[in-house]
Structure 1
């Protein structure tokens, strides 16, 4: 099993501290320099002994692990990792801990890589002082490039993130509009700065003075909205849509996908906002459905005939009942899965596929 975190130590004190952390922090594999490891032996998945240089070791660790913890000086760490840096979206989190365990320093990929979050966790475990220097964390606000990450929100593009983030940390007026998705997106302990204005709708957002904007929505923006918003706009897609799907036995994934794409385009909704698909339990082995969900990483929620029949339908179908034991599939399945009482799209039949769409309702 490949661990998520690699801890590297090259001194006796550092090795002792790294082994202590390895016992406290789940999914951590400790790399100990052979010269100062004494009688320690390797334990696969927990402890490794290396005799070569750290410079030779690090490239492999950068490829294999989500986070790398270095138990030596910050200056040495910076010199060693500099040639390995490629992209903030793919570089692992890098954390430096002095061999006395006094300071835990977030060095690289503080936001996207999770180094800041891991730094706080480690500091608590070791009773050390966390050192985090990213502006949004220091100011106690939110990071534009991490918005809704714990909920699975995805950005249409990361291109505007740098300029939007700069506007937030520099106190420039930023307009914020949320049309869908979870409402408790502000990180625990963070405050919303006064220069960020929450807008009720797109009309208000386009009218308020702003140097940048953030829009959280599952709908496709209209061309005129995109033009009016400008380049300094981050658009986030919450996972707020559920697809109810039914199909004839043996329907290929390509046909299902074509119907989904066509339907979302007709409704003006983003594919990135699909949270999951839902259908009857009898369809749980349908190869086309499984392939479609696998391609996009959607969970396939399955419901028994009794569950499906618990949802009142305007047009119950005797034909569907004979085939599945339920008077409907896509409509009741999507309503049950989304927790919504309203359909964005009632059942639509296209070839071998039936589809319905609902939006998850969030409160708070």
Structure 2
């Protein structure tokens, strides 16, 4: 293989970047070498689909199992809990005879069995409140508990929100960092403008100027409050969906 071929092969192996190879090939007036089996055989490629739709792949091993099944002409059962993803045509393509399939793919922000490959959209928003100097691991554990209880996949979180006086709160900053999402804050005036039926606290209102931080921090970011305020040991969390 010449240096040109080695370059494209390197891009593919290191980045999974067949699209990148094709893009660079066009820019250099060169022919990219595509060696991925799903591309060569024209089969559905989970990684390409996930990248195109900004979905997180729950398991690389299961993704490989899906590709292997399709290359072996086995059926794959795909479905979606997310309204914006209409997979009717894809279901027909991957399971034309509507059989019971061993391999399952779900597009969802919910928790599924580990045997199911989940393609996870970033469509959930967390609103958080806590006492000053709350232990970071305690807050993270609490939020995890709420997500598990509600059957929601925490990897679907898009951002963490709170009131601006909490902008330097290490526990919330740590939570956002662990989830690898932005930590956004809002003023009391911004939060008070949010319309909705919230679990208000007169005590909290006297202290920070707004009767509910977590629910309002969710609803200022998205339309649907799906988990109302849950409180524990001076910590509160609410969850919303786009």
Q: TM-score, normalised by structure 1?
A: 0.57
The structure 2 residue matched to 1:246, chosen from 129, 133, 155, is: 129
Partner of 1:164: 66
Q: How far off is 1:346 after superposition?
A: 0.7
The structure 1 residue matched to 2:93, chosen from 174, 179, 195, is: 195
Q: How far off is 1:182 after superposition?
A: 6.2
SS in 2 for 1:214: strand
* Per-residue CA distance 1:263-285 (angstroms, 9 max, x = gap): 11211222222222111122111
Q: How far off is 1:211 after superposition?
A: 4.7
The structure 2 residue matched to 1:130, chosen from 12, 32, 37, is: 32
Partner of 1:212: 103
Q: Which runs of 5+ in 1 are unaligned?
A: 1-72, 75-95, 99-103, 186-190, 199-206
The structure 2 residue matched to 1:259, chosen from 135, 142, 151, is: 142
Which whole-Å CA distance do the structure 2 matches of 1:354 and 1:253 have between them?
14
Which whole-Å CA distance do the structure 2 matches of 1:312 and 1:193 have between them?
40
Q: Tell me: CA distance 1:111–1:344, structure 2 relative to 1, closer, same or farther (3 Å).
A: farther
Matched, 1:335 2:219: yes
| Structure with higher RCO (Cα < 8 A, 6+ apart) | 2
* Per-residue CA distance 1:133-185 (angstroms, 9 max, x = gap): 32333455542244423565333322223221022244432211111386399
| Large movers: runs of 4+ above 6 Å | none
Q: How far off is 1:115 after superposition?
A: 3.2
Partner of 2:55: 153
Q: Which runs of 5+ in 2 are unaligned?
A: none
Partner of 1:318: 202
For the pair shown, the structure with the greater C-alpha radius of gyration is 1
Q: Tell me: CA distance 1:308–1:112, structure 2 relative to 1, closer, same or farther (3 Å).
A: farther
Partner of 1:35: none
SS in 2 for 1:358: strand
Matched, 1:97 2:11: no
* Per-residue CA distance 1:97-147 (angstroms, 9 max, x = gap): 16xxxxx97324637713312211211211222231323334555422444
Specify which structure has the higher proportion of helix.
Answer: 2
* Per-residue CA distance 1:289-308 (angstroms, 9 max, x = gap): 11222223121121222321
Matched, 1:346 2:191: no
Q: Tell me: CA distance 1:196–1:105, structure 2 relative to 1, closer, same or farther (3 Å).
A: farther
Q: CA RMSD in A?
A: 3.0
Q: TM-score, normalised by structure 2?
A: 0.83
